[in-house]
A and B are shown apart, each in its own frame.
Chain A
Amino acid sequence: MNALKSSPAAVFAQRHLLGIEGLLPEEIIALLDLAEQAVEVSRQVEKKKSVLRGRTQINLFFEASTRTQSSFELAGKRLGADVMNMSVGSSSVKKGETLVDTAMTLNAMNPDILVVRHHAAGAVHLLAQKVGCSVINAGDGAHEHPTQALLDALTIRRHKGPIHDLTVAICGDILHSRVARSNIMLLNALGARVRCIGPSTLLPKGLDRLGVEIFTDMRKGLAGADIVMMLRLQRERMDGSFVPSVREYFHFFGLDAEKLAFAKPNALVMHPGPMNRGVEIDSAIADGPQSLIRDQVEMGVAVRMAVLEALAQNLPNG
C-alpha cells in the first residue's frame, strides 16, 4: 500500500469528477487504492469517518435512480457529511426553471459537493461551470458515469488483480450507454483489452476510434474474455426501433450459460443494474457463481466514499 503514503489528493488534484476521460492512470489507481480502505471501513461495525464533517453534500438527481443515489447518500454519511437528496424531475423543472437556474439556487445555499445526474449529455459540465463547489457526475445522458466505471474497476481488481492484460467484453446497448463510455475510457487507460459486442444498430459511429474491438457475434466476442460486462437494454428500444423484439435480442445477445461458455472458464460476469432478467441476462447467470453483480453494489459505496474523500481534500479550507 505504498500509494497511500502520499495522500491521494496529491495524486488526484481535481476539483470535479466529471468523467473518466482526461484522468491519468495514476489518478484512477489512487482512487481505487483509497476505495480499498473504504471497503475495510464499510465492513466494520463503526463505519463512520469524519473527513467530511461539517460539509454539505447535495445529491441532485434529474433522473430517477435508486441504486446510485442511495450509494452516494450512504457514502457521504459514512464520511460524516450532511447529505441532502433532491429529485428535481418533478418540481422546479416542470415549472420552467432551467438547469442553470436550479444550480444557481442550490449554489446560493453553499454546498461543498454536488452530485448530479441528468438525462442530457454535458449537463453536468454546464452545471460545474456555474457553481462554486465540487461537482461529481453521477451519470449524464449517454456521456459518462465515472463512479460506475471506478466501481467496476475496483470489483475486477479485487477478483482478478491488476487490470492490464485482461480482456473485457462490454455487451449490449453501447449507443445509449454512459456506463460503456466510462468503462472504455478507464479500462483503456489501465491497459486492458476492451471489446464491444452488440447489434450494429446499438453501436455508435466512430466507436472503433475509441480503442475497442467490435463484434456483432456474441460468441466470437466472448471468446477468451476474462470479464463479461452486460449493459441494460431499455424496453422502449426493443419495440422495433433498434432491435425487433425482446425474444430476438435475447436469442443473439442475452447472456446465458451456452454463450458464457465461450469466455474463459473462470470469466466473471458484471452488470451495472438494474437488470432485465431474461432480456440481456439469464437469471441463472445473474445469480450464479461467476456473477459479481452483488459485489459491484458493495464496491459502489466504497468507490463513492473514495471520490468524496479525494475531492474533499481539494476543497478550499480542506
Chain B
Amino acid sequence: MNSERLNPSERPLVLTNARVIDPSRKLDAAGTVIIADGEIVAAGPEADALPRPDGAEIVDCRGKVVMPGLIDMRVFVGEPGAEHRETFASAGHAAAAGGVTTIITMPDTDPVIDDVALVDYIARRTRDTTLVRVMPMAAVTKGLKGREMTEFGLLREAGAVGFTEGRHSITNALVLRRALTYARDFGALIMHHPADPDLTGSGVMNEGETATRLGLSGIPKEAEIIMLERDVRLAALTRGRYHAAQISCAESLEIIRRAKKAGLAISCGVSATHLALNELDIGPYRTFFRLSPPLRSEDDRKAMIEGIADGTIDVIVSSHDPQDVDTKRHPFAEAADGAVGLETLLAVGLRLVNNGEADLLAVARALSTRPADLLGLPGGRLTPGAPADIILVDPAMPWVCDGEKLSSRSKNTPFEGARFEGRVLRTIVAGRTVYAYAAG
C-alpha cells in the first residue's frame, strides 16, 4: 500500500544461482530471481531462462538464499511519546539490518493509536524517514481502556492493518465479543495478548522452582491458558478472526491445535525469544530477560519449536520492545518487560533450521507468507507481480551479537554475546536496497 512511497530502484536486479525460497508455493529450489520496477518479475527455476531486463544488476548468489523479506507482526516503537527509546527511523534501520521489510507497529504509544488522524500521522511520518514498510495496527478500544471500540472501518481505510491492544489484555469478555463480531464486517484481524491481569498479579517471571529460588513472584501459565481458552470460545461464538499475539506454553499450543481442527479462524504467534530462551536464562536477575509473556520452561520452549515445525503456530514475531536504562536498570521486579529483537529475528529462525528442528520453508513461512496472508498484504511471497521485498541471506555465516552494534536506539537484547549462524547480506524493499552487509 505504501510501495509508491519507497522509490523503486532505477535498475532492475537479477539474482542468479540462488537457493530460492517461496513458502507461498512451497518452493525450495535453485533458481533465479528477477525484479524490476519494484516488483518481482519471476522467481525460481523458471526464471533461469528468462531474458534479463536491460541494464540489470546481476548478482551471482551461489550458496546463498533468496527469500521474501520478513514481516514482523509485533513491533513496539517509541514514537510517538518515547523517542529516546526508538524512533521510526531507528526502528527502520534495525529492521533493514535484520532482513525485516515490513514492521507492524503496536498502538500502545503516547498518544495511543486509536484515531484516524494518528494512523495518518504514522503514514506521513514514516514515508520519508523509514527504510522499510511500516504498517500500524490500531487499538481495539479507545485509549486502550478496554471499554469502547475504536472506528474499525475508518481506521482500516486510513491504513490500519489490524487491531490490537498491544501489551494490554481485554478482560471484559463482552468487549472482546463485540470487537470480534464488528471486526468481522471488515474482515479485520483482532490480535490479542492473552494474559489475565488478575492471575498475573504481581508476577514478574514464570511461576515455579526458579522463581521461588530467586524470591520473585511467579506468573502461572494459567494466566495465559485461561484467557486463551476464553478467547477461542469467543472466536467460535462470533466467527471473528482472532490472532493470539504470542503464546508461551505447551498447553496454549494444544488449545490452538484444537481450535484449528475445529475449523475456527484462529491463528497465533510466538516470539523468537521464546523459541531460543527459557526461564533459566534470567540467571542473576538479568532484566533484559524480563518479558511478557515471561520466558517459560525448557519443555515449553521445545513445544513452541514443534508448533513452528508443524505449522500450528502461524508466525514468529520479534516482539521488538526497546527499553532504556530508565526502565531496565532496576531490580528485576521493578523493571519493565520487553527486549529488542528486530535484528536477531531471522538469526533465531535460522538457528532452528541449522539445528534441524524446523525446515527453512516452515521458518520462512512463519516469518513472511503467513503474516502477509493474515493481514491481507501482497508481500511475503516471490510470485510475479508481488512487491520486490526480498532478502539475500548467507545461511552459514557465523556472527556474534554485540548489543552496542545494534542499529536500534535501545540495546536491551537478551542475545548479547550469542553466537548465530546465518545473516542477511542484502535487504531489498520495493526493489530498492535498504541494507547491505559490510564485514566488520
Contacts and interface: CB of A to CB of B under 8 A. Distances in A.
A144 B208 CA distance: 17
Contacts of A144: 215
Interface string A98-134: 1110000000000000000010111101100000000
A141 B215 contact: yes
A140 B220 CA distance: 23
B157 interface: no
Instruction: Provide the main secondary structure of the chain A interface.
Output: mixed
Interface residues of A, number: 24
Interface residues of B, number: 22
B209 A121 contact: no
Contact of A205 (B212, B214, B215, B285): B212
Interface in A284-303: none
A210 interface: yes
B334 A120 contact: yes
B218 interface: yes
A206 B218 CA distance: 11
A205 B208 contact: yes
B213 A210 contact: yes
A118 B333 CA distance: 12
Contacts of B284: 122, 125
B285 A21 contact: no
A77 interface: no
Contact of A121 (B210, B326, B329, B331): B331
Given A21-B213, A141-B215, A181-B215, A122 B333 contact: yes
Interface in A206-260: 206-207, 209-210
A211 to B, nearest CB: 11
B6 interface: no
A126 B212 contact: no
B216 A209 contact: no
Contact of A123 (B217, B326, B331): B331
A100 B207 contact: no
Interface in B312-365: 326, 329-334
A123 B220 CA distance: 23
A142 interface: yes
A205 B212 CA distance: 7
A98 B329 contact: yes
Nearest to A204: B212
A304 interface: no
B211 interface: yes
Contacts of A142: 215-217
B208 A121 contact: no
Contact of A206 (B211, B331, B332, B334): B211
A78 interface: no
A204 B208 CA distance: 8
A60 to B, nearest CB: 14
A55 interface: no
Contacts of A206: 207-213
A181 B211 CA distance: 12
A204 B210 CA distance: 11
B285 A122 contact: yes
Contact of B218 (A118, A126, A205): A205
A271 interface: no
Interface of B: 207-218, 220, 284-285, 326, 329-334
Given A121-B332, A205-B209, 15 more contacts: A99-B331, A100-B330, A120-B333, A122-B332, A123-B331, A140-B331, A142-B215, A181-B212, A181-B213, A205-B207, A205-B218, A206-B209, A206-B211, A210-B212, A210-B213
**Can you list the 6 inter-chain pairs with the closest CB atoms, starting with the nearest?**
A143-B215, A206-B209, A122-B285, A120-B331, A121-B215, A142-B215
5 contacts: A120-B334, A121-B216, A122-B285, A141-B331, A210-B209
